[in-house]
């Protein structure tokens, strides 16, 4: 009996010790600038958006060559996965191995941001990711919680879902933004009647890196898109730049890339009867000459040469857009809280 009591006491003490290793998450974000991370494959990027309109590219950091979150097997074991997550979190550990790897990358990106800020500690950040089949929303939430950062869209900065790379790249190229985000009346008017763009645009967002090819057809507008705006999408980790020699031959690889690039746009035509007005490129290999040649050939053939292609700062475009979102969400929250405080004082 004494042995059992002692074992229980030791186990409880160990859990408390492990839990103490988890960083405490701040209650609110105390900085006006927006911080964001783009957790793509096989690297992550960080950016800061300042209230004066300046956006700074902070860092590009490589992740592990084969992150566990590229597997889709967990999708078939959801209940046991949730139980295992809860048990690991109760013991003060990352909720899963996926969360552990995400946390490592986020820690590195946060350290780069704080070094850029001369040691100032950040309280929270936004994150944008590609559409990975086994990347659950709670993976990001748990990774941020584990390292002690507020995660947008978590409480109290509710936004409404993961900020997809497609919407982030659209914003990072200068679309969907109010001319002055601090003027709510003007911003609301610009959302109703956009001065420099259509009220809604059908876009194709294409990411090409050493480890992944994604193509996403979505409907974008003023403000920030929700994941549901991504109507048709393709993600293939066998078509990244580094996979080109693992195919039967180069011609086979590039033909497969060509088909993958255009597939979501063709699905939009077939099922949505919609054309594509803009194409946005991002990723560290999207400027490759061979890729660009394949892209332009298939776009001209299928969509016509009137479709505009944008490729502003392709490595950092997504994270720059996410940083803009973070800054505006912080500001909106603080304005709402200030009005509530004034109301309580009356």
pLDDT for 72 equals: 42
SS3 of residue 49 by DSSP: strand
| Structural domain includes residue 4 | no
| Structural domain includes residue 15 | no
SS3 of residue 266 by DSSP: helix
- Structural domain harbouring 65: 24-70+82-346
pLDDT for 161 equals: 62
Per-run averaged pLDDT (10 residues), the chain, 346 residues:
44 40 73 94 95 96 62 42 43 51 91 96 91 73 89 63 85 92 90 85 95 94 65 92 85 95 96 92 97 96 90 97 92 72 50
pLDDT for 157 equals: 61
The C-alpha atoms of residue 93 and residue 293 are separated, in whole angstroms, by 47
pLDDT for 16 equals: 38
The C-alpha atoms of residue 317 and residue 84 are separated, in whole angstroms, by 36
The C-alpha atoms of residue 317 and residue 173 are separated, in whole angstroms, by 7
Whether the Cβ atoms of residue 325 and residue 171 lie closer than 8 Å to each other: yes
pLDDT for 239 equals: 95
pLDDT for 84 equals: 46
| Structural domain includes residue 77 | no
pTM: 0.82
pLDDT for 224 equals: 64
pLDDT for 34 equals: 95
| Structural domain includes residue 14 | no
Residue 216 CB neighbours (<10 A): 26
| Structural domain includes residue 75 | no
| Structural domain includes residue 18 | no
| Structural domain includes residue 10 | no
Q: How many domains does the chain have?
A: 1
| Structural domain includes residue 215 | yes
């Amino acid at each position: 009996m004494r042995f059992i009591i002692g074992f229980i006491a030791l186990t409880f003490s160990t859990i408390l010790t492990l839990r103490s290793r988890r960083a405490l998450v701040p209650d609110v974000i105390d900085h006006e600038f927006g911080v964001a991370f783009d957790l793509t494959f096989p690297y992550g990027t960080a950016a800061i958006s300042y209230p004066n309109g300046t956006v700074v590219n902070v860092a590009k950091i490589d992740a592990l060559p084969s992150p566990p979150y590229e597997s889709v097997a967990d999708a078939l074991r959801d209940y046991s996965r949730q139980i295992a997550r809860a048990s690991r979190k109760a013991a003060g550990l990352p909720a899963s191995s996926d969360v552990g790897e995400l946390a490592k990358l986020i820690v590195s990106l946060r350290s780069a941001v704080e070094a850029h800020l001369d040691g100032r500690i950040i309280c929270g950040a936004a994150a944008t990711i590609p559409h990975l089949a086994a990347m659950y929303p709670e993976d990001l939430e748990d990774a941020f919680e584990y390292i002690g950062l507020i995660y947008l869209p978590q409480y109290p900065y509710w936004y409404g879902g993961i900020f997809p790379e497609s919407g982030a790249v659209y914003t990072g190229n200068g679309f969907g933004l109010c001319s002055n985000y601090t003027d709510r009346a003007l911003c609301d008017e610009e959302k109703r009647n956009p001065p420099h763009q259509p009220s809604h645009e059908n876009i194709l967002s294409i990411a090409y890196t050493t480890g992944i090819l994604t193509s996403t057809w979505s409907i974008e507008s003023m403000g920030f898109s929700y994941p549901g705006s991504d109507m048709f999408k393709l993600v293939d980790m066998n078509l990244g730049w580094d996979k080109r020699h693992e195919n039967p031959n180069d011609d086979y690889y590039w033909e497969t890339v060509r088909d993958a690039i255009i597939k979501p746009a063709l699905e939009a035509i077939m099922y949505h009867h919609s054309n594509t007005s803009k194409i946005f490129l991002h990723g560290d290999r999207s400027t490759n000459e061979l890729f660009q040649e394949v892209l332009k050939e298939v776009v001209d053939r299928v969509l016509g040469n009137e479709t505009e292609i944008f490729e502003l700062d392709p490595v950092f475009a997504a994270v720059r857009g996410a940083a803009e979102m973070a800054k505006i969400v912080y500001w909106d929250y603080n304005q709402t809280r200030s009005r509530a405080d004034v109301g309580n004082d009356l």
